[in-house]
Structure 1
């Protein structure tokens, strides 16, 4: 107890003593402590400033060292540029000449083969032959039955395809404007022949409805089809109001038959065609470039002089400030550079400078215009922009027609009413607007009610729909595809079916977003062996793989899409493969105006063009791939990865190196794809080169160079076409 009291007493005494000391601190002591604290802070700030200055100096020194190294490499590249560019030019010209010779020979043989053909088909280029053929086709009414028409239309379609191929395959300099106009007119006339004959075939089926009627239902149910056309006709002969819908079971195509139609002399034609003769006639399919207009404002002379004077004064002041800043910067850089160089012996002589200037002039790149801008699609909201949407699966016509008078048998006579003019007659049908609940109850027994028509269909088995299709109707007056009048769209991806309601009959199509697979996630071009490679693109939704061998290529992946079975593994030219893949719904080929619809970094066209050209030259031995840095860099810088690949095996991450291509030169960078920050510092082993071809010659082995030299021009052209078509350096 006493110890506790003693302890408490000591604590109280200590507390009182401390408190007394605190009270006794003089003003001078406080000032002294304050001064010491201030000095300490100043010392810390000074130390931090000196450290920051050291870091800045160190950074400036490193940058100066890099600048010296870069200048040295640039000077070395300038000295070899003329030789390298001449050598590259010679290689490209030789390949181009061989390719032109091969194509000219191919076209010559095709022309001779066409001339010697003895199958009765006209030469579509010969105006006399083709005009006679078209006139005879339209005048001949002895072959208007459906079977004959579909057979004859195959020839018409082959002639159209022949002319389109001729226009696409002939070099522009060999195309005469007059011939182009004549060929396009012939195409239009042949398309008109196809439409006319299919209508006449439909009419003949309708006129023979009684003879062709189904024994069970008593109605007309007739289907004739080939690879290009399916002509299906249903005719209402029995007028049974209990028939509410009908399905062409072979095509899995179903449509409603409202009561008002079930009691009328009507017919429905469902015609599916693989071809589309409508979209090309619409202005919605044409790129819409903006016209650059110079705006000239009228300014009074006195105001103009005043403005010019003020601008000159501002420019002079700005120039003085900039000159002063530039002078200070140059002085700092000169000191650092001089310190790094040690003496002036390494500076290039005047003769070398003049030589470098001459080399620069010798290979001055052609001026490249700015990328064109495209206008927005400013038509009505219901109009389909065909620059942003692809028509897939062909065209399907669902037409409501008048049933022509049927033959009557009187005794031993058959009386037939002739249709004049001999043409199908469309029946008008416009669905009523959606009724209210009261109107529904009031009109439920009305026979003339016109509800929307529900149409259900199986999607084409050879088309891959990656999203719910959009349905549109052809507006003949406006020459556009329109979405007006459609509702209740339903897409069953697993069952591969699609249904919708429409207020009108007509010519219809299904569409998919052109750019649904853009931008790409990644890409890779990897050699298999000499004149063989595999091109892989991981697009936004699908992953595709294209095998390349000599002049041909084929789609090898994906293998889990049955819709692509008809084109997978089929060896064709790049142009044919592009067409096949687009028709199958796998579009990884940007249009000239696709940058308007896809968020990308539009790379400089000259750099991109040269990169594809030179990658193709070395694609037998060098693998190329995307880089995550490419989209982050400016338009004038293209970043990609490359690695030597002589074995047909996947490459490891450490095998790849990062490369930078600009308008003037190409370099291998020290950094890797997995660095946190981009570093433009080049590696010392390869330096700078004027092009990818010669840079790869520096970094590749003798075996790789040997394979590159043995590569044939057809393989180079095939790879280059695919790279240009996919534009992977911009769209990945």
Structure 2
């Protein structure tokens, strides 16, 4: 019996090895046969992107914009160098410079996520230097704010208002709103600092109201912290910032000036050109920290574009930096994360959009936090082509039904029609990763990571290499085919994916002729319920690494049969699986925009529909 089992096992391994050898040979054969087609598609893609960039450059030229072309490293470096060499000066001259830096940083961020999504060696290199420049811009903005803040504090008595007995300045600059209160009166009645124009109020405990200090508030429209942490820190993050970040700094004051014979004398210290941050709780005279201290009460208004999760308790956190050397030219990387300890009594008023909380955390970034997995798992989704170079993607998440319109020009958001997404609904088409990043800023995160599966029940992410292969293979088919998920996909594990697809009738797309009453009724129904077009009998496709096969399994079956459908064998790509039985596929693909196909590929890569869909 033992010998029989060993013989059977050896035969099984030999059969598997023969099958793998056959598949490898077929893969090489089909890859070689399609080499010309792939080269042609790659060439067409580069041509379409070049033309699109020329059109954008021309529009930028006509608009007479001051910012450099963020795709050109030399031009951006020259601009940033000139910008950095400009003295900070006073707050009134520094804040416009900070606004320029924030606008450039945002443009670099949006272009860098698109470059990363393209995935070519040249665009990955572009993404790297763009991210480094963003970090340099953020650091320089902080330096300019510190220098101008020190200049103001040094002459704070000149701005003292004797009527209000306070020294307070607010500058609501675009992208980087600023407020500074200097405690010159040391008046314990001054408990609440209202930074008018910022919609921010900071209530001080008595210890700070009596202390020789300044309170600085900087409100950034964007998250200027977590996107620039290390790749490992970003991958492990389960919380994301909403509504930008609020930085509250507690600053020390220089020695007071003296008037001598008409001259104003100021001591030259480290506070003459920079700020010195003071920790809280304030240490006692013997240097010890108090065991308990009253918190600061912070209140601010959230932007109109922030979508609060219904039924969720608002959560506020602070950034706990963990800067580590990388060992290369003294470079460092932040392994930090968002923390919530030391923050209490968080309240939110939906009518006024006012967020309030108590905190002991100063000299750091504070923000409203939201779990990154709220939209997961996806309930269902459908890609529906409108023609060779356009289509619609419908995604039903745990909270919303989203509708994306896709074309060679980019992706547009059509739903949900909410006040918080109105600015996106009215925007021109944009690259898929850019639109998804802007949706995330609203509170709708559709760019899941493996870590987002941890709080989900029975959700196993696919391997990234497999998902990238699927996206690359399928984007060429979606000029002609419906595409949706299979209920068996999750149960296939991380190394396999199951999907369903079917040719969309011509009457739904471009090139339809004549009038078909049934087709018109179906098209009208598709607008109100696009998922009604899905048929349980649609053929299923099983995808593994370098192996794609049409299988017997169907969503109306009780078990998942991975055996080949009649007349089908495993191929290297989905295209090879279908072209033999679909003579119209190659002509349709030839007339399809390659840039449109690449937009579809980037969208599928970002959404990770095959990893995070779990039908109800």
* TM-score interval, normalised by the smaller of the two chains: 0.7 to 0.9
- Secondary structure, aligned partner of 1:629: coil
Q: 1:234 aligns with which of 176, 181, 186?
A: 181
CA deviations 1:478-517 (Å, max 9, x no partner) are 8534434222233445653322211242222323222332
User: 1 CA distance for matches of 2:406 and 2:127?
Assistant: 33
Counterpart check, 1:152 vs 2:97? yes
Indicate conservation of the 8 Å contact 1:627/1:639, yes or no.
Answer: yes
The 8 Å contact of residues 81 and 689 in structure 1, kept in 2 or not, is answered as no
Distance 1:172 1:263, change over 3 A: same
1:454 maps to: 297
Aligned partners of 2:462 and 2:80: how far apart in 1?
A: 48
Q: Does 1:487 align with 2:333?
A: no
Unaligned runs of 5+ in 1: 1-73, 289-383, 434-447
Matched position secondary structure for 2:346: strand
Q: Are 2:539 and 1:658 equivalent residues in the alignment?
A: yes
Which shifted more, 573-582 or 186-195?
A: 186-195
Mapping 1:537-576, distance limit 5 Å: 537-560=395-418, 562-570=419-427, 571-576=429-434
Give how far 1:209 is off: 4.3
Corresponding residue for 1:191? Answer: 138
User: Does the C-alpha gap of structure 1 residues 121 and 539 become closer, same or farther in structure 2, counting only changes over 3 Å?
Assistant: closer
Distance, in Å, in 2 between the alignment partners of 1:167 and 1:637 is 27
1:398 aligns with 2:248: yes
Shift in Å, 1:278: 3.8
Higher strand share: 2
The aligned counterpart of 2:239 is: 389
- 1:620 is the counterpart of 2:469: no
Is 1:202 the counterpart of 2:149 in the alignment?
yes
Instruction: Report the Cα distance in structure 2 between the residues aligned to 1:529 and 1:183, rounded to whole angstroms.
Output: 36
Instruction: Map 1:485-524; keep pairs closer than 5 Å.
Output: 485-493=342-350, 495-510=352-367, 511-524=369-382
Q: How many Å apart are 1:588 and its aligned residue?
A: 1.3
Please name the residue that 2:39 is paired with. 93
The answer to whether 1:252 aligns with 2:199 is: yes
> Matches of 1:715 and 1:182 in 2, distance apart?
27
Tell me how far apart the structure 2 counterparts of residues 604 and 241 of structure 1 sit (CA, whole Å): 60
Tell me the SS of whatever aligns to 2:392: strand
- Shift of residue 726 of structure 1? 1.3
Aligned-partner Cα distance in 2 for 1:565–1:176: 32
Q: Which residue is 1:726 aligned to?
A: 607
Q: Is the 8 A contact 2:383 2:393 kept in 1?
A: yes
How has the CA–CA distance of structure 1 residues 504 and 677 changed in structure 2, closer, same or farther, with 3 Å as cutoff?
A: closer
2-side partners of 1:618 and 1:172: how far apart? 22
- Displacement of 1:216 in angstroms is 5.5
Residue 169 (structure 1) aligns with: 115
Relative to structure 1, the CA distance from residue 674 to residue 414 in structure 2 (aligned partners, 3 Å threshold; closer, same or farther) is farther
- Selected match of 2:558 from 676, 682, 703: 676
User: How many Å separate the matches in 1 of 2:401 and 2:283?
Assistant: 46
Superposition TM-score, scaled by structure 2 size: 0.73
Q: Could you tell me the TM-score, scaled by structure 1's length?
A: 0.62
In 2: Cα distance, 1:245 partner to 1:635 partner: 54
Paired positions, count: 537
- How many Å separate the matches in 2 of 1:655 and 1:181? 44
| Residue 198 (structure 1) shift | 0.8
- Choose which of 712, 720, 723 in structure 1 pairs with 2:593: 712
How far apart in 2 are the matches of 1:210 and 1:393?
34
> What is the distance in 1 between the residues matched to 2:77 and 2:597?
41
Q: Is the 8 A contact 1:473 1:506 kept in 2?
A: no
Contact residue 392 and residue 585 of structure 1 kept, 8 A? yes
Give, in whole Å, the separation in 2 of the partners of 1:405 and 1:528: 71
**Structure with bigger gyration radius:** 1
Match of 1:667 among 550, 557, 577: 550
Q: Assess if the C-alpha contact under 8 Å between 1:534 and 1:546 holds in 2.
A: yes
Q: Take 2:77 and 2:574, find their aligned partners in 1: how far apart are those partners?
A: 52
Is the contact between residue 660 and residue 668 of structure 1 (CA under 8 Å) also seen in structure 2?
yes
Q: CA, structure 1 residues 634+388, in 2 after alignment: closer, same or farther (shift >3 Å)?
A: closer
Q: Does structure 2 conserve the Cα–Cα contact (< 8 Å) formed by 1:407 and 1:416?
A: yes
Q: Could you say what secondary structure the match of 1:567 adopts? A: helix
TM-aligned CA distance change 1:114 to 1:675, over 3 Å: closer
Deviation for aligned residue 1:162: 6.7
Distance 1:400 1:476, change over 3 A: farther
Extract unaligned runs of 5+ from structure 2: 1-19, 285-290, 325-333, 510-522, 527-531
- 1:136 corresponds to 2:98: no
Secondary structure of the residue aligned to 1:232 is strand
Q: Note the alpha carbon deviations across 1:370-425, whole angstroms, 9 max, x for none.
A: xxxxxxxxxxxxxx9853222333321112234557788999x5746366432234
Question: For the structure 1 residues 634 and 564, does the alpha-carbon distance in structure 2 shift closer, same or farther, using more than 3 Å as the test?
Answer: same
Pair 641,565 (structure 1): closer, same or farther in 2 beyond 3 Å: same
Residue 423 (str. 1) matches residue 281 (str. 2): no
Q: CA deviation at 1:272?
A: 0.7
1:261 & 1:553 partners in 2: Cα distance?
51
The 2-side partners of 1:484 and 1:84 are apart by 57
**Is contact 1:124–1:163 with CA below 8 Å preserved after alignment?**
no
Going from structure 1 to structure 2, the CA distance change for 1:634 and 1:501 (only over 3 Å counts) comes to: closer
Q: Is the 8 Å Cα contact of residues 243 and 303 (structure 2) preserved in structure 1?
A: yes
Inter-CA distance 661–449: structure 2 relative to 1 (3 Å threshold): closer
Instruction: Note the C-alpha offset of 1:184.
Output: 7.0
Partner of 1:590: 448
Question: 2:477, 2:276 → 1: CA distance?
Answer: 63
**RMSD value, Cα:** 4.5
Mapped partners of 2:77, 2:480: distance in 1: 53
Q: Deviations over 1:32-81 (max 9, x none)?
A: xxxxxxxxxxxxxxxxxxxxxxxxxxxxxxxxxxxxxxxxxx9x999998
